[in-house]
Amino acid sequence: SAVISQKPSRDICQRGTSLTIQCQVDSQVTMMFWYRQQPGQSLTLIATANQGSEATYESGFVIDKFPISRPNLTFSTLTVSNMSPEDSSIYLCSVEASTGTGGGQYFGPGTRLTVT
Amino acid sequence: KQEVTQIPAALSVPEGENLVLNCSFTDSAIYNLQWFRQDPGKGLTSLLLIQSSQREQTSGRLNASLDKSSGRSTLYIAASQPGDSATYLCAVRAGYKLSFGAGTTVTVRA
């Protein structure tokens, strides 16, 4: 399985500011995913990021609020813009395992965001 | 829309007891099903991946079964230990998307 790292691991931010979260993978992957986990909730997919194309956003998530970059096959960023306390969540990136391993997804350690 | 339900929501058992965690899903047209473990405030660790054509997968003390036609999966953890205390999440994949259940929070008492 891929080794995934995220930066920062946690942050406390003021409302109205923006935070960019980085996700680095130790191998080249086609698809990267960004999820949000609000307190006490399960995971919700924000968007899918493919290298060389715009991210595909799920219903309820928009590019202006959650811009995503995918400059190469091992790296992606998610920005949480104009934050409010409702954005306090754990943000996780994940990748699909390489072909031949049955298509499992593997997750980074997450970024714990608190907005005050 | 795929709906994934996990029962029970929480479970507390004494050390050594076997654990049985249930997951059900509404749309049987899945590609695979994955069980994850999540420790408080942390990311997800993949435990077992079952393809839609498989009936079960085993890894050490963990065994997961899949009955796709009835939309059910069960995760068994044998001889539980305090270190097994965590939230266990079930996720089903259709296309490239994972749909998650709300999880079962397990506490194993020493």
Distance from CA of A105 to the nearest CA of B (A): 8
Question: Closest Cα to residue A107, out of B42, B60, B40?
Answer: B42
Is B41 near chain A, with CB under 8 Å? yes
What burial class does residue A32 get, using C-beta atoms within 10 Å of its C-beta: 0-12 exposed, 13-18 middle, 19+ buried? buried
Specify the 3-state DSSP secondary structure of A85. Answer: helix
Q: How far is B68 from chain A (nearest CA, A)?
A: 16
How many other β-carbons are positioned within 10 Å of the β-carbon of residue A43?
Answer: 26
DSSP secondary-structure letter at B31?
S
Q: Nearest-CA distance from B101 to chain A in Å?
A: 7
* Chain A nearest-CA residue for B97: A45
Q: pLDDT tens, A43-91?
A: 999 999 988 888 999 999 999 999 999 999 999 999 999 999 999 999 9
Top pLDDT among B40 and A10 is at A10
Residues of B in contact with A43 (CB under 8 A): 44, 89, 91, 98, 100
How far CA B72 is from CA of A28, B28, B31, B52, B104, in Å, comes to 33, 9, 14, 11, 15
pLDDT at position B96, please?
A: 80
Contact at 8 Å (CB) between A26 and A45?
no
Please tell me whether residue B77 adopts helix, strand or coil conformation. strand
> Which of B46, B97, B100 lies closest to A104 in CB terms?
B46
Helix (H) or strand (E) segment spanning residue A36: strand A31-37
pLDDT at B20: 96
What was the pLDDT predicted at A100? 56
Q: How confident is the model at residue A96 (pLDDT cuts 50, 70, 90)?
A: confident
Nearest Cβ partner for B51 among A6, A102, A108: A102
d(CA B3, CA A104): 19
- Model pLDDT, residue A53: 82
> B38 CB contacts (<8 Å, ≥6 apart)?
B44, B45, B86, B87, B88, B89, B103
Distance CA A18, CA A34 (A): 17
Contact (CB<8Å) B34/A92: no
| Cβ-based neighbour number of residue A2 at 10 Å | 19
Other beta carbons less than 10 A from residue A100's beta carbon: 6
For residues B90 and B2, is the Cβ–Cβ distance under 8 A?
A: no
Instruction: Report chain A's mean pLDDT, rounded to a whole number.
Output: 92
Report the pLDDT value the prediction gives residue A101, as an integer from 0 to 100.
56
The model's pLDDT over B11-70, given as tens digits with 9 standing for 90+, comes to 999 999 999 999 999 999 999 999 999 998 888 999 999 999 999 999 999 999 999 999
pLDDT for A82 = 97
Across the range B69-90, mean pLDDT stands at 97
**pLDDT value at position A99?**
58
In angstroms, the CA B2 to CA A26 distance is: 31
CB-nearest partner of B103 from A1, A42, A102: A42
Q: Which two structure tokens, joined as six digits, stand for A56?
A: 């595909």
Amino acid making up residue A27: S
Question: Which residues share a beta bridge with A95?
Answer: A32, A106
